[in-house]
Amino acid sequence: MNHFLDINTTGVSDLRGMIDSALAMKTARNGRPKGALDDDQPLKDHMVALIFEKPSTRTRVSFDVGVRQMGGQTMVLSGKEMQLGHGETIADTARVLSRYVDLIMIRTFEEQVLHELAEYADVPVINGLTDRSHPCQIMADILTYEEHRGPIAGKKVVWSGDGNNVCASFLHAAGQFGFDLTFTGPEVLDPEDVFVAEARSKGVTVTLERDPAKAVKGADLVVTDTWVSMHDAQSARERRHNQLRPYQVNEELMAHANPDALFMHCLPAHRDEEATSTVMDGPHSVIFDEAENRLHAQKAVMRWCLGK
């Protein structure tokens, strides 16, 4: 069974096949109405459960639209509507949902919830986000980079800010797709050692550089993410702002990157905090292509999960 739980646990050839499939599907839709069904409908007569313990805009809309474009139907469930891990065990929930649907996507907090769901489900499970990783986002980011600049293998990617779950999936991708990654941010917010070590074990260079200008020198891609979570207390927000302010992606910082470097942010953004509006709306930015490509990348992921 093809679960899509993390980039580092998915085969390199499978990942490459998903990126190529995503680009082919996107190209095939050029000039067609957004609501039109794909000519190829691999999810016809399929039901997909979309579970959201954490709120979402891009994940919810992109998965829902993607399923519908491929001829399937969705059942959207929130944590409040379910007894996931509360009134009913995750294992029992997985067994029950497997009797009703063909595919499950979950956006949750604890990574263990994802893994337990996958262990007991009889249908494929997709990681829509956990507190430790966000693989669907990075698949969209790889697609976006290659759409604009060609193969990402051998390129230099710089992550500026918090070594969070999105950063973790970029490290997973570095090892699988063969690009180097430099993290620049305060030591207290470094990515987990295990993610850094795994990427290095696959032959790519991972660098931790405290000076953001030095980190960005020669970069082909500069990436950041929001400094605070919607769940953070006000005191935590203020502390993170103080820690991360030197790592804001602004025009001055981007000037140290390669002239044709791209800028990405997975959104939602706090404009003029982690990145300035000048950069987000500037010539390096591909943030809205990146957002659109969540749709195409996830369609490819779903097809792969179902052997389509």
Q: Is 134 a catalytic residue?
A: yes
The active-site residue out of 46, 69, 137, 305 is 137
Contact predicate 150/186, CB 8 Å: no
Backbone φ and ψ for 193, nearest 5 degrees, come out as -55, -35
The active-site residue out of 3, 46, 58, 107 is 107
The active-site residue out of 102, 141, 220, 225 is 225
The active-site residue out of 46, 58, 132, 134 is 134
Q: Is 294 a catalytic residue?
A: yes
- Other beta carbons less than 10 A from residue 234's beta carbon: 8
Distances (CA, A) of 211 to 79, 100, 186, 208, 219: 41, 52, 10, 9, 14
The active-site residue out of 266, 296, 303, 305 is 266
Query: Which residues make beta-bridge pairs with 181?
Result: 157, 206
List, in order, residues 6 or more apart from 80 with CB less than 8 Å away. none
Count CA atoms within 13 Å of residue 114 on its CB side: 25
The active-site residue out of 294, 298, 303, 305 is 294
**Active site residue ranges:** 107, 134, 137, 225, 266, 294
